[in-house]
Amino acid sequence: MIKKTFIIFGILIYPFCSVAETNDQKKLVDCAGIYYTYSMIPQGQLELDKIVHSIAAKKFLNSHLLKTGLNEDKLNKDLLAIVDELYGQPYEGDKVKKCDDFVYKTISNSKEEILKIVNSGVY
């Protein structure tokens, strides 16, 4: 009886869990797009450390999203759509801060991993 209860409970809860993962994944893709866009701002228009952070965070998120099963073609399509929307707009520190906070909260050790990429000099 208990086993059946757990199975039924699992079946009822599973769709809600996958929706939550999908929403987090969508937000992570949006953040990767923001980082990608800001990584293309010329150095004379934005401090180098902000550009490097954007490059490293985008690289980390791309890798993470692909490892978690997101289709590479879909990721690239979504990123390009975000870049098309944001390219040419001024840097918004608040957007980056919100993305940083979300990424650090959602993916364990992400802050350290992004910092490793920044410090490695390999972008």
Percent of the chain at pLDDT exceeding 70: 83
Contact status, residue 59 vs residue 123, Cβ threshold 8 Å: yes
pTM: 0.81
Domain ranges for the chain, please list them.
2-120
- Helix (H/G/I), strand (E/B), else coil: 27: helix
- Helix (H/G/I), strand (E/B), else coil: 71: coil
Question: What are the tens digits of pLDDT across the range 53-92?
Answer: 999 999 999 999 999 999 999 999 999 999 999 999 999 9
Phi, psi at 41, each rounded to 5°: -70, 130
